[in-house]
Copies of this chain bind each other. A is one copy, B any other.
Amino acid sequence: MRLIADNLRITQKAIEIAVAEKDSLPLQAMAKLCAMAGADGIDINSGPLYRNPESRMAFMVEAVQEVTGLPLILDTSNPKALKAGLLACKTPVTLNGLSLEPSKLEHILPLAVAFQTEIVCYLLYPNGHVPPDSTERLNVAVSLYQKCIDAGVEPDRVIIDPVVVPLSWQDGLFQAREVLTVIKTLPELLGFPVRTIAGLSNLTAGAKNLTKKHLAQQTYLPMLAASGLSIILMNVLNAESVRVALMCRLFSQESIFTWEMVA
């Protein structure tokens, strides 16, 4: 299981201001902290970037690349920003992401093909809503995967995000289970070991009690891993969660175990 930092997001005030003022230091400090914390990649979540999308995304990518060679995930619904980010990227890059929403199929899918990137595919309805259960998510997965293949994306460049929703939703516990079912079922359904990604922070969106929030995340994370998750998008600055993630990864290793391997 690979660990991708979700910390570099524009919803954090310091990042928002840094991007608006083109001040690279806060971005670089955050990127460096993520790398030191054990991230295998960094998700650059710029938001939709309504103003100056090209220059702002290029700025973010360039700032981060000055301090780390980690693979980047470009996380925005703005195709102009995505393209500018792609042009600025020196390392392998992943687009985050595609869904059955018509505008995304029209504008984002061609970028993934043209730049031969990996692409995160969200299991959402064409209207952007979350399907009610695993069966509906799997139906969406088949459609969306087929659209990728038809457009010319290589199967091993597809990464599927079953969409973790907040536990606080009315059917939050049910949805959490359905996500596990989707992750377990996808490889057989698509006929190859398709990779999956999940955003852990979303599970506890709105939680006020930090202890409970971390307990929920640190319990659900091994459940995702045991279901076969390939990539976890998470707050890598929570040291305890990272220790759990690395322990999950250890359980998947082929090597001989020693207690020295445990973080």
Partner-B contacts on A (CB < 8 A): 167-174, 176-177, 180, 207-209, 212, 215-216, 218-227, 243-244, 247-248, 250-259, 262-263
Are B173 and A226 touching (Cβ within 8 A)? Answer: no
Residues of B within 8 A of A215 (CB): 243-244, 247, 262-263
Residue of B nearest to A219 (CB): B247
Task: Report the minimal beta-carbon distance from A170 to chain B, rounded to whole angstroms.
Answer: 6
Copies of this chain, count: 2
Contact B251–A177 (Cβ < 8 Å) = yes
Can you pick out 18 interface pairs between chain A and chain B where the beta carbons lie within 8 Å of each other? Answer: A167-B257, A168-B258, A170-B256, A172-B256, A172-B257, A173-B254, A174-B254, A180-B226, A207-B259, A208-B259, A209-B259, A215-B247, A218-B218, A219-B247, A219-B251, A222-B223, A223-B226, A226-B226
Q: Are A219 and B244 in contact (CB under 8 A)?
A: yes
Whether the Cβ atoms of A219 and B222 lie closer than 8 Å is yes
Which of A177, A216, A222 has its CB near the most chain B CB atoms (within 10 A)?
A: A222
